[in-house]
Every structure is written in C-alpha cells, then in structure tokens.
Copies of this chain bind each other. A is one copy, B any other.
Amino acid sequence: MRTTIKDVAKRAGVSPSTVTRVIQNSSSISQQTKETVRQAMQELNYHPNLNARSLVSSYTQVIGLVLPEDSDFFYQNPFFPQALRGISQVAADNGYAIQISTGKNEKQRMEAISQMVYGRRVDGLIFLYSMPEDPLVQLAIQHNFPFLILGKASSPFVSLVDNDNIQACFEATSYFINKGYKNIGFVAGNKELVVSQDRYEGYKNALKAHHMELDEAKVKFSSGFLLEDNSYKVMKKLTKQPLDAIITTDTIVAEGVLSYLKETGLDLPIISFDSVMPKIDITAYVDINATKLGRVSFNTLLQIINDTKEGKQVCYRRVIPHTIIEL
C-alpha cells in the first residue's frame, strides 16, 4: 500500500488535519509540530494523492492547453513549441502541470475539453489558436471557466495575449520604405485570420504614413492553410507587377514566394514573421517572441483563475513586443 496522510499522522503522533496544515504551511501550527511532521513525511517518502486533494479542494494545479485540429501547419510551425516552452517554464516555476488536448475533428476536441472542464482536471485553459465562434471557447464562457487566448484576437470580451501585429507590420513595411524601396508587395496567409488582417492593416498604414499609394494588385492572400504551395502560385500572379521588395506574413509563405523567385531567377528582399530564425535566405524577419507570449499567457491565466475565484470579471489584453531582426 502507498503511504497516506494517516501513516504520516500516526508516525508524527498528530491528526491527519494537522498534517494537512503542515503541508499548507499554515501559520497556526507550531514550529515544533511542523518539524516533527516534516520529518515523518520524509521518512515515509510521503506524497499526497492529488486526486483526493483536487476532489475536495476543487483546484488541480494543472492548466489545459487547447490545440487546434491536428494539422500539418500547426505542428510544423515553430510557434507552437516556442509558445509551449514559455508556458511550461513559468508553469514549472509555479508548481503547475500542463495538460494538452487536441483531436482530429471538432467532436473529439470537444470531448477532450469537456473532460478537462467538467471532469475538473484543470484550473484554466489557454487556447493556442483562434477561430470566430469557436464552440470550445463558448463552452468556457458559458461555464465561466478561466481561460485566455494566446496569439490572435477573436471576440472582443475575452482575455488575450498577443503581439501588436498592426504596429509590427507597420515597422516591417517602413523598414523597406526607409531603404528606398518603392514597390513593396504584400503576401499574406489566410484572409480570414485576424493575424493576416492586422498585418495588412499595418502595411497599409505604413504606405499612407510615407505618402505612398496603396496598389491592391501588389497584395495577395493565400487561401487554405497558409501552405507553401499556395504562396508559390500566388507569387506567380504577383510578379506581373513591378516589385522591388516583399512582405510576407509567415515563413511558410516566404518559402513559397522564395521558391518561385529562385525558379524565375528573380532576387527580391523579403521580410517574414516568425518565432525562430528562419532557415531560408531572406532579408529580415519580425520576431514575434513566442516564448514570451507563452510566459505572459501563463501568468495572466493565473490572474484570471484568481479573479474568478474572487468573483471578479476582468478582461486582460496583453501586448508582447516584437523585434525586427536582420539576417
């Protein structure tokens, strides 16, 4: 049999409730008792059964990470491991564990998140993606379950941690403008994604700020899952325009663009957005600092969990700085 709190209590000559209080380092316990109990715990190599604890105290010290549907794009994008890294760094420091949940379709993902929320397996959720009217987010909202969205905005009333994508792309575009480029193309991923829209906004703002005309023929959105092939095709169309530089919203897009350019012998400066240094031969990239996004997300979620406990309803919006890095 595994050692329980009763074994420790017996050995230390106290009651189980006293052992609990020692574990909680309650100030109402004498130093003397604390020491005796701690020694007994050590001697017996006692570790509490966390299921029992969670059952009665209804907190788990676990947070849930909600991933999007199983897709190549998600798992090949360095954003995910980097964000996870940031989250787990802070989680470990705070004694929290991380449970991840995904699935091959919405039904399976709904099942998984239900287990976490209804099953009381986690204290809060971080969504690592964002879709309009996401039923999983709806579930969290309905049950007033603590959560936040990392990376992209969706509804205006949820807490989130994100970059200022408008500003970031403003700066990326200005970077080219300041170098004297006049015909700057813009190739984005899926137009539905808030992130593409925001970066497009920044692109337009930069042109305006520098009194340059927006030429929509120089702007392309690649549909589908931001995949490389699409960007390649899109680029093909774009080169009918005079171009001297290109902004892309993702390294995967940049890859497609680059492979078309190489094939046709063209050489244009390219900027992309990424969370690690791109391995392809481009001019610069905007580091969105995914690890920091992760770290701040965890800390913010902790606040939301506490707010919820106290019945408060605060909506957090945290902005993580980006950096343009020349290659």
Contacts and interface: CB of A to CB of B under 8 A. Distances in A.
B118 A97 contact: no
Contact of A102 (B54, B92, B116): B92
Contacts of A81: 75-76, 80-81
Interface string A11-24: 00000000000000
A230 interface: no
B50 A121 contact: yes
Interface string A72-91: 00011010111011001100
Contact of A120 (B50, B103, B116): B50
Nearest to A280: B279
A49 B120 CA distance: 6
A112 interface: yes
A47 B121 CA distance: 12
Contacts of A112: 92, 97
Contacts of A67: 88
A159 to B, nearest CB: 23
Contact of A115 (B50, B52, B76, B89): B50
B89 A119 contact: no
A48 interface: yes
A112 B60 CA distance: 14
A121 B78 CA distance: 29
A198 B99 CA distance: 34
B97 A70 contact: no
A98 B99 contact: yes
A248 B319 CA distance: 41
Given A70-B85, A76-B78, A50 B99 contact: no
B51 A70 contact: no
A219 interface: no
A221 to B, nearest CB: 23
Nearest to A48: B119
Interface of A: 2, 47-52, 54-55, 60, 62, 67, 70, 75-76, 78, 80-82, 84-85, 88-89, 92-93, 95, 97-104, 108, 111-112, 114-116, 118-121, 255, 276, 279-280
22 contacts: A2-B118, A47-B114, A47-B119, A50-B121, A51-B51, A51-B60, A51-B121, A52-B55, A62-B121, A70-B85, A70-B89, A75-B82, A76-B276, A88-B100, A89-B104, A92-B104, A92-B112, A93-B104, A97-B101, A98-B101, A99-B99, A99-B100
